[in-house]
């Protein structure tokens, strides 16, 4: 990562964050009036965002279950993990195999506080306060070193996070994916999805709105083709890259997104 990117260590309740807005959409309690007000404004332009967020979370849970159950993955590195909610990655994976190791990474200080409280008794799961673009620091972190064996397959998760970082040759989504995958054993997996819109007016409005609301802690709403480009060189699991509520749906009834101004789009790739 380029030098100069500062990690915030203090919580400012007056400035909305992606983590707390997402928590509000999921029905959580770890958010403030400023986060809820920003969601209300956003809903005027993209009214299906709550359904989108719920479906995104369910996709993550199905994907983790699939990676554990069908592909035998026992190590997860989750970038931009978010505030703890119900059925977090470690709970889904450890229900299938309690020996599964999980490293959560997030740059929101509130995630660190709540994550640590949740994980106090769990030796196999940890949360690291880091910028997801800082691959070297994340991989060299003593907790990552303790919990992840990079000579064995790992599932690296970027679920609904790349819209939080801007394009950049050295630090944009493509660069980050390239840097991480260099360290992964064959048979590892990379899960990626992000907010996309094929409507330029929506892309522009939401990108500007979120950039202002979060005081610059935001990236860009992209297009499906931008997400597809991140999977270059990876074998994409069935059903391919899709709106995530349609990725291997299970028997749970998913909330229907009544409008489609923006969607969460992505899937899972495997390293040869």
Ligand X SMILES: C[S@@+](CC[C@H](N)C(=O)[O-])C[C@H]1O[C@@H](n2cnc3c(N)ncnc32)[C@H](O)[C@@H]1O
Under rule CB under 6 A, residue 131 binds ligand X? yes
239 preceded by a cis bond (ω within 30 of 0): yes
Helix (H, G, I), strand (E, B) or coil at 189: strand
Under rule CB under 6 A, residue 173 binds ligand X? no
Least Cβ distance, residue 111 to ligand X (angstroms): 6
Q: Which of 1, 42, 52, 57 binds ligand X (CB under 6 A)?
A: 57
- What is the separation of C-alpha 266 from the centre of its chain, rounded to a whole number of angstroms? 11
The two tokens of residue 31 are 């958010």
Containing 51, the helix (H) or strand (E) segment is: helix 49-69
Least Cβ distance, residue 19 to ligand X (angstroms): 3
Q: Which of 1, 66, 74, 80 binds ligand X (CB under 6 A)?
A: 80
Under rule CB under 6 A, residue 38 binds ligand X? no
Under rule CB under 6 A, residue 247 binds ligand X? no
Residue 222's Cβ-side half-sphere holds a number of Cα atoms within 13 Å equal to: 24
Torsion of CA 66, 138, 86, 236, to 10 degrees: -20
Query: Integer distance in angstroms from the first to the last C-alpha of the chain?
Result: 26
Q: Which of 67, 138, 161, 213 binds ligand X (CB under 6 A)?
A: 161
- What is the separation of C-alpha 84 from the centre of its chain, rounded to a whole number of angstroms? 12
Under rule CB under 6 A, residue 261 binds ligand X? no
Give the range of 76-84, 96-104, 172-180, 197-205 binding ligand X by CB under 6 A.
Answer: 76-84
Under rule CB under 6 A, residue 164 binds ligand X? yes
Under rule CB under 6 A, residue 165 binds ligand X? yes
Among residues 56 and 94, whose Cβ is nearest to ligand X?
Answer: 56
Q: Which residues bind ligand X (CB under 6 A)?
A: 18-19, 22, 56-57, 60, 80-82, 105-108, 111, 131-133, 159-161, 164-165
């Amino acid at each position: 990562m380029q030098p100069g990117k500062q990690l915030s260590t203090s919580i400012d309740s007056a400035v909305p964050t992606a983590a707390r807005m997402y928590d509000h959409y999921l029905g959580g309690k770890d958010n403030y009036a400023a986060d809820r007000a920003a969601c209300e404004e956003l809903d005027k332009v993209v009214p299906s965002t709550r359904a989108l967020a719920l479906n995104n979370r369910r996709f993550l849970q199905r994907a983790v279950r699939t990676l554990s159950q069908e592909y035998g993955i026992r190590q997860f590195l989750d970038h931009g993990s978010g505030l703890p909610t119900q059925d977090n990655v470690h709970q889904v994976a450890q229900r299938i195999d309690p020996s599964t190791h999980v490293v959560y990474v997030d740059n929101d200080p509130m995630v660190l506080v709540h994550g640590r409280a949740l994980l106090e008794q769990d030796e196999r799961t940890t949360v690291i306060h880091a910028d997801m673009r800082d691959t070297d620091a994340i991989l060299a972190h003593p907790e990552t070193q303790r919990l992840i064996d990079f000579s064995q397959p790992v599932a690296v998760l970027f679920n609904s996070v790349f819209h939080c970082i801007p394009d950049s040759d050295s630090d944009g989504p493509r660069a980050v994916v390239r840097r991480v995958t260099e360290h992964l054993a064959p048979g590892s997996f990379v899960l990626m999805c992000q907010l996309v819109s094929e409507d330029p007016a929506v892309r522009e409005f939401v990108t500007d709105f979120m950039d202002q609301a979060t005081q610059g802690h935001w990236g860009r709403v992209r297009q499906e083709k931008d997400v597809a480009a991140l999977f270059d060189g990876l074998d994409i699991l069935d059903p391919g890259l899709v709106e995530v509520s349609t990725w291997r749906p299970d028997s749970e009834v998913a909330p229907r997104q009544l409008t489609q101004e923006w969607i969460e789009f992505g899937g899972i790739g495997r390293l040869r």
